[in-house]
Structure 1
Amino acid sequence: MEVHEKLGELAALVSGARSVPLSSSVVVDREQLLRLVAEVRRLLPAEVQQAGDVLAQRDEVLQAARAEAEHLLARARAEAEELTETQAVTRAARERAEHVVATAREEARRLRLDADAWCDGKLGDFEEELERLQQQARRGRDRLKVRAPEQGEGAEEERAGAPEQEVPAGAHPAPRPEREG
């Protein structure tokens, strides 16, 4: 899955980054990091689209089941009308029509249950994948928090004197490493 590959590249970029001396901070190529983040963002809507496709397939299966049920009902009605010539024939036609209608309803119910079970399985798989991705993201953020330098005295003065870095819209600014000493 491409999302996992891109997240792996992000992790490798951070893991292989050069360390800042006397700090747990690292120097990361901003353009490369932002490119990988953009690629992950581009891939995630594809995952969401797949979930929409699963729902659309479910609707198509349900529509086909309804159409088949309507066809069976129409055929049962047609058969019932043809058999109304005599009382015995009428009774047989009614029984046959009821049987066909009951069979059609049961088949439609079975098709609907099968379609729902299939869709539920696909959505469950998708939900598990999203949860796994969310856990990976959470673990990554937790690792970043652990590696982030603690705020010390003088950090605010140091930041006040440093030039502001421009951050792309929707991105969060990276924490600045603190100087030790």
Structure 2
Amino acid sequence: MNIHSLLDYLEAELGKGSSMPLTSRVLVDREKCLEILEEIRENLPEDIKEARYIVEQRNQLLYDAQQECDDMLSGAQEKLNAIINDHEITQGAYAQAEQILANAQQNAQEVQMGAKVYADDVLAQLQNFLDKELEDVVHNREGLRQE
């Protein structure tokens, strides 16, 4: 029998006892009650062991659940950090690409301006040369007319 059954049995024995008139006392079978109490004493350590085992199992389950929760949180934090790092790396790469593109466009504009200036200089020199040659041609023609 377990302790609860034994306590119920003891309570029933006390309930079966004869009441003493004008008092709250009851006459019970002493030997029977002592036997029940002895059985309770014998079963009590076993029930306490079982209760301790149940408490230990509960504590172990709580510990395991906490460990699993901590592991899940750690994993989630690592994934979040990786995503943030990837995002930062991607943003950095885009910023760097935009900077490279801006530099390339600026260099292209500078090269284009330089090419225009160079072409203008070459054409100006050609114009000066041709103007001089034209003057020589005009001068030579005038010389031919005067002769």
> Which TM class, normalised by the smaller chain length?
0.3 to 0.5
Q: TM-score under structure 1 normalisation?
A: 0.38
Report the structure number with the largest CA radius of gyration. Answer: 2
User: Which one has the bigger helix percentage?
Assistant: 2
Higher relative contact order, chain-length normalized (CA < 8 Å, sep 6+): 1
